[in-house]
Amino acid sequence: MVKALAVFLPLLGAFVNAWLPSKSPRASRFVSYVVLVAGLLASVVLSIRLDAWDLKNLSDSVILSTGVGAPPLSINLEITAGGILAAVAMYAATIFSLHRFARTTPKSQPLILALLTASLGLIYSTDIFNSFVFLEIGSISTIGLTAACKCGSRWEAAIKAALVSGLVTILYLLAVATLYRSTGMLTLEALGLLSGGSAILVSILLLTVIVTEIKAFPLAGWGLDFYQGASSVVAGLYSATWSLAVLLWAAKVLPLLPIGNPIIYAWIGAAGLVFSQLAGLRASSSGRIMGYSTSAYASLLLVAAGTTTGSFYTQTVIVLMVFSSLAKFSLFMLGNPEKSDKWSGFGTIIFLVPVLLLAGIPPLPVFWAKFAFLAHLASNFPVIFYTVLTGLMLEAVYLFRFWSQRSERTNETNPYKPSAVSAVLIILLAGIWITKLSWGALDFSGAIIASSALRNVFHSLFAIGTLLCLPGVFKRIGREKNYWFWLLISGAALTILPAAGNGITFYLLWEFSAFAAVIAVSKGVRASRGTFWFAVFASLSGYLLLAGILLSGGSFAIAGLPAVLLTLAALVKMGQFGTHLWNVKAYPAAPGTIPAFLSGTSSKASVLLLVAVALSSTGGSLPWGRVIAWIGALTALTGAVLAAMAPDYKKMLAHASVSQLGYILMGLGLASILGWTAAFYHTIHHLIFKMALFLGAAGVLYRTGTSEFNNLGGLVKKMPWTFAFTLISVISFASIPPLAGFGSKWLLYNGLVEQGWLPVMIVGMFASVVAFLYSFRLLHGVFLGQLSPRNAHAKEAPLPLLIPQAILAVAIMVLGFKPTLLLNFLVPAIDAIPGLSGLAPIIQGDMVLTTMGTWNAWMVGLMVMGIFGFAFVFYWISGHKPKYVGQLDIGFAGEIPPSADEIHYSNNFFRPYKRALAFLPNINAEKIFSGVNKTFGMLGDAVRALFTGDGRTYLAHSLLFLLLLFVFLNGGM
Amino acid sequence: MNAQSLFYWSLAVTALGLVLIGLWGVLTRKNILRIALAFTLADTGVNLILVWSGFLPGRSAPIVDSSVSSMVDPLPQALVLTSIVIGVAVAALFVVVGVLAARKSGSADVRRMKELKW
């Protein structure tokens, strides 16, 4: 009884609705709600009976006989556990979307219910002719619904769907006739009985039908047009019911096709994934972007059908397809894409959750399935694995661009559409549930970094860094939104990160932290570009990390290629070697204390990753340590030059941050005890001073509302404390002796000399010299010189920002005068790592001894303070009187400035150096990446030229595909 | 070749011919109504093939009374009925959508209906 209710209630509702007088929309809506809720309840009961919710035995089933007796006298529907889960999602989506239809097209109720009936029938059907009937009902209701809902291009969308469905009908019936002719049976299992010519014929016919229906590349053209043209409510309902049903039906039929080697599916899928996602990069309409994403999931289905079997296959397919469909549903329900909707606050999140889900970011449900699936591919089908990963990366790029563009638009409509919000809630709950189911895969024993001392360094760095960013979170300016929650989440994930014991745990926490930070950045004012670049590079580094982890079998026992991939992941995350584009875009866009968190704290996750790679590959040495060190040195130099030229306070700090991380790479690349000590020392030091600087910048921005040097200057009298703390940090990172920075350079250069890496050292030293330039500019441009009139009312930064800076400044002093406090702890821990070369520095009291020399920080500090004090007293008694001049009162050596900005002293501050360097080719990261972007765009254009928009082209594609399959299979068999 | 098997094979050839003509028409015609006609042709051909798949030379129609001893397979004929009914529905919907789309674009030329592309 329950079975029949779960399947046939919508059909009943459709009939009743069709007979109701058309003037009573309320009655028909009432009928729809009753049958849908009852059907949903029946499905839920059935799913519990089938024990579907633990996702283990999704192929378990019950049979629903529709006639008298057993087949062939009656047609049976097989209700599988996986199918019933999909049915629950379909019912829920239909219920959520009903009120939207009620408003726009009240008479569409019978069509909606017919669509649901067809979807349910198709996923339960076991008979090939029965499936045909449901396929036709589905197409008819889709075309009808599309045509009924008012939207600009509905007729065109409907006619294309109709054209394709016409062709599919013909091909499908040919397959049915052949099957019946050869076997005398019409069940799906009968497909396995075929042999010889009829097997090939049926296979190519059905495969063409399936690839067309699920909209996998290259037969996706009509689907793209359909999604673009149909009204968003129809497209939403369609993707949550019919599209999902077709995918699951295809998943059922594909393994049964007598095609010989199913690996051909995987190749069609993997190649199609890359091509369609290339074309997707060029899509601009929201509906079309969803279409490309659908195509991506269809391709994934083909790959899964070709490479996996049994319950793993069912599980992968159900989780991937059900949740991606729900995600698309909620994106469509969020509004008509072409009418710009505004998303603010939680609206952005409601929008972001489905995007993150489609991109497979943890802990959303699709992540778990994708991870397991990709792990399977990585260990069994490496080439397909790389291809699929490339396609998924491309998909992530356009999804994030879509998100950033959509959240940028401003308008009136309400983002809290109940339909979308409910679907997002379901996704989140399912995410928690599946996370709970998969919890056993996680391991928090900290095994990837065996040394508990080093682990504790990272634990405390992350925890302290996050805590210091927290007090300032409520000091937001202008239209910056609340971000404390995401800062906390990101920081918490980071804090746990060092405890990760296996690959999946590390990846989970890494991505969790990265994307919580992405959300936090998105809370800034006009942050969408910055957020986009951050998200793209975060997912690039995430995919590299994933590839590395999966290729090494899900663990961290890494060598060879996986180690290189993981190293690259860390480098991208650090913004090294040209990938600094994201740092430079995201830090200035991020709100409040987030830049401090990203640059000071979160960047240390990549140091952790490098350390983990080095420890687990070959005892402390990174792959190509020398190359890494060179990358670090060159980035240190270029980053410093770019920082010196930056016109903006936060942008300068972003470049400087990338540059400083280069020193850590030099240390780690050395693979010697001294190098690692220097690297750890600098990691800690960088966290301290960079957070102080960025918190100072947050204070300046909070009080003045600007971070451009052109509008700053002379703030020393208004913000003396901020100035003092910034000064301390600057002195420290300029490596002037009494403060902490000197130690890290001393250790590093000692290590470089010890190993004889003199060229690296020279570049590093030169970078330090350039660092003087930007540190001077930073102090001068913001705090010294004359006060800009617009900042006349600026006050000292608020205490929640000042107090953390004070703590950090004290830490710099302590570390500067007594570095042995830290070294006493670090050196033994690093000395204990087997495989590091060189000798450990010896610590005696305040003295640090290496083979190259000694360093007594306490003595040096006292001496420098003495000299400084002497100079200060001398200056004071000499009675030197400065001459005060206005900000615009500077000589211009005979040049005629074109605008008032040009004569501001902060403008183009280091012009002489820029001119001196003018002989260098003008290569910058932005140009390179826009070149990359253009190249991909051209490829995408070439691919999407296939989709001409002429409905007949799509039919020709299908027939051509059929012929190619025929040639290929005949040649291959 | 006796008359029965001649009929048998000519049925197959006609059916296949109809399908091919239909597909050719679908791909080459520009007028949306002609495309609808071409689909109907192909559909008819496919239905004939379905009937053919259950056809056994030398047997009578599956109308059961006492005189019938050997008949052709009845199932495909039942299927064909369903398929014809569905075909009518699809054709009707196709024509309706086609006419309305043509009104919208001002011409029945399917090449004009490519606002949505790439």
Second-level CATH architecture of B3-58+70-112 = Orthogonal Bundle (1.10)
Q: Look at phi and psi of residue A642 and say left if phi exceeds 0, alpha if psi is from -120 to 50, else beta.
A: alpha
Sign of CA dihedral A514, A517, A519, A524: negative
For the record, the structure tokens of A634 come out as 């060159």
H helices of chain B, in order, are 3-28, 32-53, 75-105
* Statement: residue A774 has pLDDT above 80: yes
β-pairing, A76-80 with A842-844? unpaired
Mean pLDDT of A482-509: 89
Backbone angles phi, psi at B109, to 5 degrees: -75, 120
Lowest-pLDDT range of A92-96, A578-582, B18-22: A578-582
Sign of CA dihedral A378, A381, A386, A389: negative
> How close is the nearest chain B Cα to the Cα of A352, in Å?
25
Query: Order of strands, edge to edge, in the sheet holding A854-856?
Result: A842-844, A847-849, A854-856
Contact A162 B54 (CB under 8 A): no
Please tell me which of the candidates B26, B49, B117 has its beta carbon nearest to residue A177.
Answer: B49
Q: What residues of A are in contact with residue B97 (Cβ under 8 Å)?
A: 143, 147, 155, 158-159, 162
Q: What residues of B are in contact with residue A174 (Cβ under 8 Å)?
A: 19, 46, 49
Contact B53 A180 (CB under 8 A): yes
Closest chain B residue to A943, measured at CA = B118
Mean pLDDT of A968-972: 74
Contact B93 A143 (CB under 8 A): yes
With an 8 Å Cβ cutoff, is B106 touching chain A? no
Interface of B with A in 17-56 (CB under 8 A): 19, 22-23, 26-27, 32, 35, 39, 42-43, 46-47, 49-50, 52-54
Within 10 Å of residue A828's Cβ, how many Cβ atoms?
12
Residue B36's pLDDT is: 92
With an 8 Å Cβ cutoff, is B86 touching chain A? yes
Quote the radius of gyration of chain A (alpha carbons, Å).
32
With an 8 Å Cβ cutoff, is B82 touching chain A? yes
Whole-angstrom distance, CA of residue A16 vs CA of residue A13: 5
Backbone angles phi, psi at A65, to 5 degrees: -85, 130
pLDDT confidence bin for A463, thresholds 50/70/90: very high
* Statement: residue A649 has pLDDT above 90: no
Contact B101 A174 (CB under 8 A): no
> How close is the nearest chain A Cα to the Cα of B67, in Å?
24
Contact A955 B26 (CB under 8 A): yes
* Statement: residue A409 has pLDDT above 60: no
Q: What residues of A are in contact with residue B98 (Cβ under 8 Å)?
A: 159, 162
> How close is the nearest chain A Cα to the Cα of B43, in Å?
6
Please count the helices (runs of H) and the strands (runs of E) in chain A. Answer: 37, 5
Contact B76 A951 (CB under 8 A): no
Closest chain B residue to A226, measured at CA = B116
> How high does pLDDT run on average in chain B?
84
Closest chain B residue to A183, measured at CA = B53
Q: What residues of B are in contact with residue A155 (Cβ under 8 Å)?
A: 97, 100-101, 104-105, 113
Residue A413's pLDDT is: 47
Chain A with chain B: Cβ pairs closer than 8 A:
137
Contact A650, A591 (CB under 8 A): no
Q: Which residues of A468-480 are buried (b: 16+ CB within 10 A; e: fewer)?
A: bbbbbbebbeeeb
Contact A72 B113 (CB under 8 A): no
Please tell me which of the candidates A229, A944, A959 has its beta carbon nearest to residue B23.
Answer: A959
For the record, the structure tokens of A910 come out as 């280091």
pLDDT confidence bin for A416, thresholds 50/70/90: low
Tell me the per-residue pLDDT of A262-305, one tens digit each, with 9 for 90 and over: 898 999 999 999 999 998 888 888 888 889 999 999 999 999 99
> How close is the nearest chain A Cα to the Cα of B104, in Å?
8
Contact A944 B118 (CB under 8 A): yes
Residue A114's pLDDT is: 92
Contact B116 A225 (CB under 8 A): yes
pLDDT confidence bin for A883, thresholds 50/70/90: low
> How close is the nearest chain B Cα to the Cα of A233, in Å?
18
Mean pLDDT of A581-604: 89
Sequence-distant (6+) residues with CB within 8 A of A228 are A153, A157, A285, A287, A288, A291, B116
DSSP A218-239: TS-HHHHHHHHHS-HHHHHHHH
Contact A153 B115 (CB under 8 A): yes
Q: Tell me, what DSSP letter sits at residue B69?
A: -
Whole-angstrom distance, CA of residue A670 vs CA of residue A960: 57
Please name the amino acid found at residue A879: G
The closest of A260, A327, A263, A268 to A293, measured between CA atoms, is A327
* Statement: residue A623 has pLDDT above 90: no
Mutation site, A74, A163, A963, interface B, largest B CB count within 10 A = A163
Q: What residues of B are in contact with residue A169 (Cβ under 8 Å)?
A: 43, 46, 86-87, 90
Tell me the per-residue pLDDT of A342-363, one tens digit each, with 9 for 90 and over: 455 566 677 788 888 888 887 7
Look at A669 and A72; give whichever has higher pLDDT. A669
Contact A180 B49 (CB under 8 A): no
Contact B23 A170 (CB under 8 A): yes
Whole-angstrom distance, CA of residue A473 vs CA of residue A306: 50
Whole-angstrom distance, CA of residue B50 vs CA of residue B74: 11
Tell me the per-residue pLDDT of A253-266, one tens digit each, with 9 for 90 and over: 999 988 878 898 99
Q: What percent of chain B has pLDDT over 70?
A: 84
Q: What percent of chain A has pLDDT over 70?
A: 92
With an 8 Å Cβ cutoff, is B72 touching chain A? no
Mean pLDDT of A50-59: 83
Q: What residues of A are in contact with residue B113 (Cβ under 8 Å)?
A: 155-156, 159-160, 949-951
Q: Domain-by-domain residue ranges, chain A?
A: 2-438+950-972, 444-623, 624-920
With an 8 Å Cβ cutoff, is B77 touching chain A? no
Q: What angle do CA A325, A329, A331 make, to 5 degrees?
A: 120
Q: Tell me, what DSSP letter sits at residue A79?
A: E
Within 10 Å of residue A825's Cβ, how many Cβ atoms?
14
Contact B26 A166 (CB under 8 A): yes
Q: What residues of A are in contact with residue B11 (Cβ under 8 Å)?
A: none
Whole-angstrom distance, CA of residue A357 vs CA of residue A327: 7
H helices of A438-502, in order, are 452-469, 484-496
Tell me the per-residue pLDDT of A676-691, one tens digit each, with 9 for 90 and over: 999 999 999 999 999 9
Q: What residues of A are in contact with residue B110 (Cβ under 8 Å)?
A: 159, 950-952
Q: What percent of chain A has pLDDT over 90?
A: 27
* Statement: residue A339 has pLDDT above 60: no
Distance in angstroms between the alpha carbons of the first and the last residue of chain B: 54
> How high does pLDDT run on average in chain A?
85
Please tell me which of the candidates B50, B73, B97 has its beta carbon nearest to residue A162.
Answer: B97
Which secondary structure element, helix H or strand E, spans residue A682, and what is its range? helix A673-704
Whole-angstrom distance, CA of residue A678 vs CA of residue A346: 43
pLDDT confidence bin for A858, thresholds 50/70/90: confident
> How close is the nearest chain A Cα to the Cα of B106, in Å?
12
Q: Domain-by-domain residue ranges, chain B?
A: 3-58+70-112
Please tell me which of the candidates A184, A949, A952 has its beta carbon nearest to residue B117.
Answer: A949
